[in-house]
């Protein structure tokens, strides 16, 4: 093949690079601040007891190590593919194949869980499965319409979720200290190293959404710089939100009552005397699930 014919060869098709730093960060935040913040704290409190914040710190450190590794790989290989691409380029075809399928299987299970959680907040039990499936299809259609529409929807969703969380934090200031959280509750365990590590494992799930950013190597502008920065910004933002929520829940409900709660954020606004805000919290939880599904 001559140089002239080589230069005339058609370029490989690729995705349009339309996302900036803000859009990539918002998509990552939407994936991280999902239903977990509304549901995972009681299970973590049952495992860690008073060591809940230590478990959160451990989860954050592990997530930071993982996220910085993902950021470095994304800067080195600024293409779509995420874990599949990194495994293939660094370890070979088979490790990349296994990493890719692990990602697909894990995200499929996560998608099902988030869709069902959304439906649980949105509709009665009899309608939950059809609505969950409809939510997945609807968001898939949005994704097919283009990444810019996905980013716009993510902005709306994360705005709603953060507004609801801010409402809960203000309610926590109004409610004050725990009034019913000092007595024993079934299932509460003493703080042990194993329990703290168990809570860290549960809380780490909340931070796993930064992998969503790493898969957008062909959709962001200047990916070698944008993706690492977006990963760290999204992780930092999610950590701040989770820490504020955890401190509020422990301060208002106490570890015992938190461990026995099925809707701790709703309990906080209820303790503040804001019964009108309980449905608002449910809307925020449903929106958070949709954000994680994008």
pLDDT tens digits along 159-185: 999 999 999 999 999 887 665 444 444
Residue 69 placed within a domain: yes
Count up the domains in the chain and report the number: 1
In a domain, 198, yes or no: yes
For 229-282, the DSSP string reads HHHHHHHHHHHHHHHHHHHHHHHHHHHHHHHH-SSHHHHHHHHTT-GGGHHHHH
Whether residue 128 lies inside any domain: the answer is yes
| Confidence label for 261 from pLDDT (cuts 50, 70 and 90) | confident
Between CA 96 and CA 220 the distance in angstroms is: 23
pLDDT at residue 162 in the model: 93
- What pLDDT, on the 0 to 100 scale, is given for residue 21? 86
Give the pLDDT confidence score for residue 165 in this predicted structure: 94
> What is the pTM for the complete model shown?
0.82
**What is the reported pLDDT for 89?**
86
Residue-wise pLDDT for 38-92, tens only, equals 878 888 999 988 889 999 999 999 988 888 888 788 778 877 777 788 888 888 8
The rounded distance, in Å, linking the Cα atoms of 214 and 227 is 7
Q: Give the residue numbers spanning the domain of 143.
A: 18-173+192-293
- CA-to-CA separations, 218 to 126, 160, 164, in angstroms, rounded: 41, 28, 33
In this prediction, residue 188 has a pLDDT band, given cuts at 50, 70 and 90, of: very low
- Rounded to the nearest 10°, the torsion over CA 114, 161, 81, 225 is -160
Does 286 fall in a domain?
yes
Evaluate whether 210 touches 233 at the Cβ level (below 8 Å).
Answer: no
Nearest CA-CA partner of 235 in 259, 208, 253: 208
Q: Is residue 178 part of a domain?
A: no
pLDDT score for 159: 92
Is there a domain that residue 12 lies in?
no
Lowest mean pLDDT among 3-17, 57-71, 130-144, 155-169: 3-17
**Residue 200 sits in a domain of what CATH number?**
1.20.1740.10
**Residue 131 banded pLDDT, cuts 50, 70, 90:** very high
- Average pLDDT over the chain reads 82
* Confidence grade of residue 3 (pLDDT, cut at 50, 70, 90): very low
Residue 243 domain-assigned? yes
What per-residue confidence (pLDDT) applies to 200? 92
| Per-range mean pLDDT, top range of 34-38, 80-84, 203-207, 270-274 | 270-274
Asked if residues 114 and 35 have their Cβ atoms less than 8 Å apart, the reply is yes
pLDDT at residue 40, as a whole number: 85
Distance from C-alpha of 216 to C-alpha of 82, rounded to nearest angstrom: 8
- Rounded to an integer, the average pLDDT of 190-200 is 87
pLDDT of amino acid 10: 47
The set of residues, in sequence order, having a beta carbon less than 8 Å from that of 241 and lying 6+ positions away, is: 33, 37, 162, 165
Q: Which of 30-39, 91-100, 149-158 has the lowest mean pLDDT?
A: 30-39
Residue 129 binned pLDDT confidence (cut-offs 50, 70, 90): very high
């Amino acid at each position: 093949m001559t140089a002239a014919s080589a230069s005339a060869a058609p370029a490989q098709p690729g995705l349009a690079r339309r996302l900036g730093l803000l859009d990539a960060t918002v998509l990552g935040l939407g994936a991280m601040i999902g239903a977990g913040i509304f549901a995972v704290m009681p299970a973590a409190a049952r495992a860690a007891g008073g060591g809940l914040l230590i478990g959160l710190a451990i989860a954050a450190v592990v997530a930071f190590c993982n996220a910085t590794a993902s950021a470095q790989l994304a800067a080195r290989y600024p293409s779509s593919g995420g874990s599949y691409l990194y495994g293939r380029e660094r370890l070979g075809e088979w490790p990349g194949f296994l990493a890719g399928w692990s990602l697909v299987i894990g995200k499929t299970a996560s998608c099902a869980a988030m869709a069902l959680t959304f439906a649980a907040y949105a509709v009665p039990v009899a309608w939950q499965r059809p609505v969950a499936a409809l939510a997945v299809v609807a968001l898939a259609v949005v994704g097919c319409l283009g990444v810019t529409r996905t980013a716009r929807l993510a902005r709306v969703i994360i705005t709603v979720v953060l507004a609801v969380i801010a409402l809960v934090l203000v309610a926590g200031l109004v409610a004050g200290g725990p009034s019913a959280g000092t007595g024993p509750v079934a299932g509460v365990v003493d703080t042990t190293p194993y329990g703290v590590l168990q809570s860290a494992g549960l809380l780490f799930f909340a931070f796993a959404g930064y992998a969503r950013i790493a898969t957008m190597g062909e959709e962001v502008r200047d990916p070698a710089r944008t993706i690492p920065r977006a990963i760290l910004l999204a992780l930092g933002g999610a950590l701040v939100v989770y820490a504020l929520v955890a401190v509020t829940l422990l301060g208002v409900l106490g570890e015992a009552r938190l461990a026995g709660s099925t809707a701790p954020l709703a309990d906080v606004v209820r303790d503040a005397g804001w019964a009108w805000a309980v449905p608002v919290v449910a809307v925020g939880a449903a929106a958070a699930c949709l954000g994680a599904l994008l």
